[in-house]
Amino acid sequence: MRSDPDPTDASAQLISRLATRVRDVRKARGLPRRVLSELSGVSPRYLAQLEAGEGNVSVVLLQRIAAALDLRIEALLAEDLPWERDVQRVAMLYRSAPGPVQDKVRALLAPQNPAALRAGRICLVGLRGAGKSTLGRMAGEALNLPFVELNREIETQTGMPLSEVMAFYGQEGYRALEAEAVARVVASHDRLVLAVAGGIVEDADTYGQLLERFHTIWIRTSPAEHMERVRAQGDLRPMQGNPAAMEHLKGLLAARTPLYERAEAQVNTANRTVSASLNDLLKAIASHGFLDRVGA
């Protein structure tokens, strides 16, 4: 029977340190595992095993991985790197900072014009039932742009429905898949309309990527219409056996409102027909110049 490695064993410590460093540097570079695989020529499965601390890695493969991460191979093996302590401290300060401060930090660190980073990508945020999917699909058709639902992208990548994704990976795993899906969308589209799950704004890092790489629009409505639309979609769970569902929804909306307000524009669909809301969305996109080509 296989026993767990002794944590005092030098080899086990080296493998664990290597796993953590490769994973942290990859995420810091914003590289999905699939992209690192393509850059290094190392299979995604092997990279997954390496990041999990399972098995050894040859010097040749490690050199390829280091090169793909723009590092010297010794940086992956060193016990401690001075800059890692600074990075960790800055990361902690960033995560605990208010949203506006995070926005300023990203603006200072952005390598180019923020508008150029966002290109023609439009992202719709907001609670479920606001109309993101319906309006996003219609806006994509009207503007001749691809429309992508991030959860459908996750389902395609994992090969399983969202309910199974949540059951198999858990909330933390789902958030990681969500971040990787955002990176894939950015890498593959310069112009599109994207609809994301309502809770993505609670992950500071992923929401920061959305704000930096997309023109964001908050699709909002009243709590009553949120609830009614979810029920109309055939999901009765918010109401069944939960008389306090509306109060919960109001509390959730109140808690997330400061996050949704960081979007560049808002479209209120309360008491509006779908066609009227679509016109409001198209007007917001045009008035803010979200599809204007930088430098054109």
Per residue in 264-287, pLDDT (tens digit) is 999 999 899 999 999 999 999 999
108 and 15 inside one domain: no
Q: Is residue 21 part of a domain?
A: yes
Q: Is residue 47 part of a domain?
A: yes
Q: Is residue 110 part of a domain?
A: yes
With 0.75 as the threshold, say if the pTM is over it: no
pLDDT at 66: 76
Contacts 24+ apart (CB under 8 A), 282-290: 282/139, 282/142, 282/143, 284/217, 285/122, 285/139, 285/143, 285/215, 285/217, 288/215, 288/264, 290/118, 290/120, 290/122, 290/215, 290/264
Split at pLDDT 50, 70, 90, the class of 148 is: very high
Q: Is residue 3 part of a domain?
A: no
**Percent of the chain topping pLDDT 90:** 34
User: Residue 268: phi, psi to the nearest 5?
Assistant: -95, 115
78 and 133 inside one domain: no
Q: What average pLDDT does this structure show over 227-235?
A: 69
222 and 162 inside one domain: yes
Q: Supply the CATH number for residue 155's domain.
A: 3.40.50.300
The tally of domains found in the chain comes to: 2
Per residue in 94-113, pLDDT (tens digit) is 777 887 787 777 667 665 56
| Pair of tokens at residue 263 | 């979007």
The owner of tokens 């949704």 is 260
Cα angle at 130 between 269 and 233, to 5 degrees? 120
Highest mean pLDDT: which of 26-35, 80-89, 162-171?
162-171
Q: How far is CA 281 from CA 79, 132, 189, in A?
A: 52, 10, 20
Show which of 18, 49, 82 is a domain's final residue: 82
Q: Supply the CATH number for residue 29's domain.
A: 1.10.260.40
Q: What average pLDDT does this structure show over 49-75?
A: 75
- Residue 158, domain extent: 99-287
